[in-house]
Amino acid sequence: MSIHEVIPLRAFADNYVWTIRDSTGAAVVDPGDARPVLEYLDAEKLKLVAILNTHHHADHVGGNTGLLGRWKVPVYGPYDERIREVTHRLKDGAQFTLPHFGIDFEVLEIPGHTRSHIAFHGGGMLFCGDTLFAAGCGRLFEGTPRQMHDSLFRLMRLPDATRVYCGHEYTLSNIRFAKAADPDNAALLELEVKAKQQRDRGLPTLPSTIGQEKATNPFVRVSEPAVIASASRYAGKALNDPVSVLAAIREWKNTF
């Protein structure tokens, strides 16, 4: 495996195009917009070697064609006709080696935000699109609370040190909600201080880690008494299973 770095390229208001690079090549995850990628690769004199797509939303795949116009590279993505450019459609458990870098990736199907959403896990990294965010999770556009619950908990079984590269810079607004759903969580308050400092300096709050999410993310802390209590208060009835707790706080956050 080559020596590489992972660079966040900003797109739109708050998307990140995560870019794995070394001194000569780059692979991009979820290029919603080709322009910031082309600018970066040209400035750094890098050639594109691959595109990875986690799900079909335009803010994650909109730059595919613009990049493919310059470089004919493999596009790894889900079985979903809505992303026409995918050359390697990958099911749960599929493995592939990232060209140029030699990093072995495994694919996890994680439906919930969309029905065909996948994550890429390899080299100690997780690229999880809009399913898992720092201190939050994606909206349920095409999935059920049960699916989102199961997807999040599959990710939580990865090693705690796994670096979590999410699709958006949503951390501060997620923390604002998380403090309501999981009051008195000391780890969450610590994260807030750190994230505010990072944002004040114009730095990304990502990557997170699986360990950090277990400590701070209310959507995976659905068996914690404090989260159950606040979800039950929101629902107006006692909730006693994790999926109902997740459903309640997801709905609560939609209007928070």
Count of residues touching Fe ion (by CB under 5 A): 3
Q: How far is the CB of 194 from Fe ion (least distance, A)?
A: 24
- Per the annotation, the verdict on 57 as an active-site residue is yes
Q: Which of residues 12-71 bind Zn ion (CB under 5 A)?
A: 57
- DSSP code string of 7-63: EEEEETTTEEEEEEE-SSEEEEE--S-HHHHHHHHHHHT-EEEEEE-SS--HHHHTT
User: Using the rule CB under 5 A, is 169 a contact of Fe ion?
Assistant: no
Which structure tokens are listed for 206? Answer: 């990502």
User: Using the rule CB under 5 A, is 109 a contact of Fe ion?
Assistant: no
User: Using the rule CB under 5 A, is 182 a contact of Fe ion?
Assistant: no
Q: How far is the CB of 73 from Fe ion (least distance, A)?
A: 22
Q: Considering only residues 30, 33, 109, 130, which one is a binding residue for Zn ion as defined by CB under 5 A?
A: 130
- Per the annotation, the verdict on 55 as an active-site residue is yes
User: Using the rule CB under 5 A, is 30 a contact of Fe ion?
Assistant: no
- Annotated catalytic residue, options 4, 30, 33, 55: 55
Distance linking the first and last C-alpha atoms of the chain: 44
Q: Please identify, among the stretches 19-27, 56-64, 86-94, 233-241, the one whose residues bind Fe ion according to the rule CB under 5 A.
A: 56-64
- Per the annotation, the verdict on 121 as an active-site residue is no
| Residue 33 binding result from Fe ion, Zn ion, none, given CB thresholds of 5 to 8 Å by partner type | none
CB 215 within 8 A of CB 194: no
Which structure tokens are listed for 21? Answer: 């690079």
